[in-house]
């Protein structure tokens, strides 16, 4: 069994796991911001910050922040496809959660750990991701080329517990005020009909 299969098996064996729940793994800069956005959406049942693209041995915040581990700060989104589609998640990812035209950075956060990436669990996700990029490019939604990497899902390692729901737990932290909060405000304005009625626990 590969490490990838082992991680997947552990996920499937989690107590209370709903067989209908699917997952998406996306990277778009600081995971505090991306997590804050996706926690607002109806149909999303869980959002976890973590690291994807590198090894288990280097999957910790301080090593990842060096930019030398090949991890990306990422979020794993568990969602109910009966309420929200993978394509809907991608739309929010591209238009609200981050700027997909910035290579190996988001704003002042610079380094490969802040790259834009879609980690695809299967061919269906890969096709959807490619189609979304092609559509956005064709429609000239962005002035600059999209640089988002579309790659095979590698093991996802959850971040340290103090990162959980960081934006909501630290609303007055300057980075949250100036970077995460405006993205959440944009989501609430643009995707109001898709928002949760109650916040995620």
List residues with catalytic annotation: 30
Residue 21's CB: how many other CB atoms inside 10 A?
A: 14
Q: Residue 104: which of 27, 177, 184 has the closest Cα?
A: 27
- Eight-state DSSP code of residue 111: S
Contact assessment for residue 116 and residue 27, using Cβ atoms and an 8 Å cutoff: yes
Measure the CA angle with vertex 179, ends 115 and 189; round to 5°. Answer: 105
Count CB atoms within 10 A of the CB of residue 195. 12
Separation CA 94–CA 141 (nearest Å) = 10
Supply the DSSP string of 31-92, one letter for each residue: HHHHHHHHTTBTTEEEEEEEEESS-GGG-SHHHHTTT-S--EEEEEEEE-TTTS-HHHHHHH
Cα distance from N-terminal residue to C-terminal residue, the chain: 34
């Amino acid at each position: 069994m590969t490490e990838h299969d082992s991680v997947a098996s552990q996920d499937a064996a989690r107590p209370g796991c709903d067989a209908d729940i699917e997952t998406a793994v996306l990277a778009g800069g600081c995971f505090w911001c991306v997590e804050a956005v996706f926690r607002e959406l109806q149909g999303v049942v869980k959002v976890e910050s973590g690291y994807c693209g590198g090894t288990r041995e280097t999957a910790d915040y301080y090593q990842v922040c060096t930019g030398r581990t090949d991890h990306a700060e990422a979020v794993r989104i568990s969602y109910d496809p009966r309420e929200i589609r993978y394509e809907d998640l991608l739309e929010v990812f591209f238009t609200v959660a981050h700027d997909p035209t910035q290579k190996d950075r988001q704003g002042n956060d610079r380094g490969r750990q802040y790259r834009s990436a879609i980690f695809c669990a299967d061919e269906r996700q890969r096709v959807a991701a490619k189609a979304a990029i092609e559509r956005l490019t064709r429609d000239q939604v962005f002035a600059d080329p999209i640089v988002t990497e579309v790659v095979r899902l590698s093991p996802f390692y959850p971040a340290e517990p103090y990162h959980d729901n960081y934006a909501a737990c630290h609303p007055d932290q300057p980075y949250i005020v100036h970077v995460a909060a405006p993205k959440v405000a944009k989501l609430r304005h643009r995707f109001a009909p898709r928002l949760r009625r109650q916040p995620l626990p």
